[in-house]
Each structure stands twice: as structure tokens, then as C-alpha cells.
Chain A
């Protein structure tokens, strides 16, 4: 059974550029969540998609956006990159529904470096 796949693993971008990260969840999982991990702020929730709809959103500026496709694959986009956006971006998939006791399976992450 394939796990959660995130691409690319590493990315270097310049300030002001935009970037798109991809996440393929476990087959059958309908919920995809995104988290940002930095040494200073730890793990912070970005947003969650369920059946192509954004269900929850964290406290991040509008430069951070996402979407989910009909096959549950998800992308997140960051526009006008800032140095502070350098982080490990983690995607987590879950069966979803209205309860969260299923647990979440994380991908290996995309390491974004903004220079």
C-alpha cells in the first residue's frame, strides 16, 4: 500500500517567485492537510481539504493557497515568496469524515528554501 507521496522533496526558490507543491494521499483517503514546520514556530496547520473543498484554514496570509482534485491529490501554492517561507512543508492524509480519530499519515515533506 503506497504511502503519502510529496513532490518535490527539495526546492530552492528566489524571493518574489511562486511555488507549487504536490501531495498524493493514500488511496481511499479523502482528507488532505498541509502543515508548515520551522525551527522557530514548530508545526503549524495551513489548511485541510476534504472532497475538493477547503474545510479548515489556519492563520496564514492569503499568499498560501491550496486545492484538491477529484482524485484527492492536493496542491499548495505560495506566491510572492519571502525568506520566512523557508520550511519543511508536510502533507497528511486521512480517511476524513467528521471525526479525526482515524489518525493522519504524513508524507516525507518538501523542503523549501527561499534565497
Chain B
């Protein structure tokens, strides 16, 4: 079946540190991959996405590259800010299949000044 595995949190960093949140997936077919972010008390916001192998999604300084050979979609940011503190979810969906989003368990990021 289709599934997403994320690294356990929380991830605690100082401001301006480099961020990596690991995400690997298992899927039948050719999934689209997403990173969503959830701030306290809010819903999910789409951070970035990639729809085919070797695509790089990027937004607000965050990047992730769709790696088919390693079935990974790791999230990176070169210099985090306190305002990046949130929970990050990796997700996939398989077009022309069920179309539903399958989420990882989420990784909490805490950035301190």
C-alpha cells in the first residue's frame, strides 16, 4: 500500500541553522509529493509540491527534491527563523488512483532565537 514515513520530532534548532526533515515514501504508481505546514491552531498550508521524479519544489526558502531512486522527498532550508516553528507534514497522492492525500505523522520544528 501507499505510505509516508517522516523523522520523529521535535527538531530543535537555533535561528539561522540549517534544517533537514527526512521523508520517505512507498507508493504504487507515480505519486505526487507534498509538504504541508501547520501553525498552532490553524489548518494545513501547502508549502511545496513535486509531481514527477527529479522535480524540485521550493517556497519561502524551503526546498525538496523528488528522488525516485531513494523514494525520498526531504525538506531543507538553509537558514531557519523563529517564525518557521510549526509542524511539517510530508504527504503523497497517487493521481488517477484514489487521489486522497496520505500523510506522514508530522515533525514538529522548534526554532529558538
Chain A residues packing against B (C-beta within 8 Å): 4, 6, 31, 33, 35, 42-43, 45, 48, 55-56, 58, 90, 92, 98-101, 103-109
Q: Which residue on A lies nearest to B50, using beta carbons?
A: A101
How far does the alpha carbon of A30 sit from the alpha carbon of B100 in the complex, in Å?
14
Q: Is B20 on the interface with A (CB-CB < 8 A)?
A: no
Chain B residues packing against A (C-beta within 8 Å): 32, 34, 36, 42-46, 49, 51, 89, 93-96, 98-106
Q: Which residue on A lies nearest to B96, using beta carbons?
A: A98
Is the contact region of chain B dominated by helix, strand, or loop, or is it mixed? loop
Partner of B42, one of A4, A55, A108: A108
Residues of A within 8 A of B105 (CB): 42
Is the contact region of chain A dominated by helix, strand, or loop, or is it mixed? strand
Residues of B within 8 A of A100 (CB): 32, 93-95, 99, 101
Q: Which residue on B lies nearest to A98, using beta carbons?
A: B96
B15 CB, min distance to chain A CBs, angstroms: 27
How far does the alpha carbon of A101 sit from the alpha carbon of B36 in the complex, in Å?
14
Q: Which residue on A lies nearest to B32, using beta carbons?
A: A101
Q: Which residue on A lies nearest to B45, using beta carbons?
A: A106
Partner of B34, one of A6, A33, A56, A103: A103
Q: Across chains A and B, which 5 residue pairs bring their CB atoms closest together, nearest first?
A: A99-B95, A100-B93, A43-B103, A106-B44, A106-B43
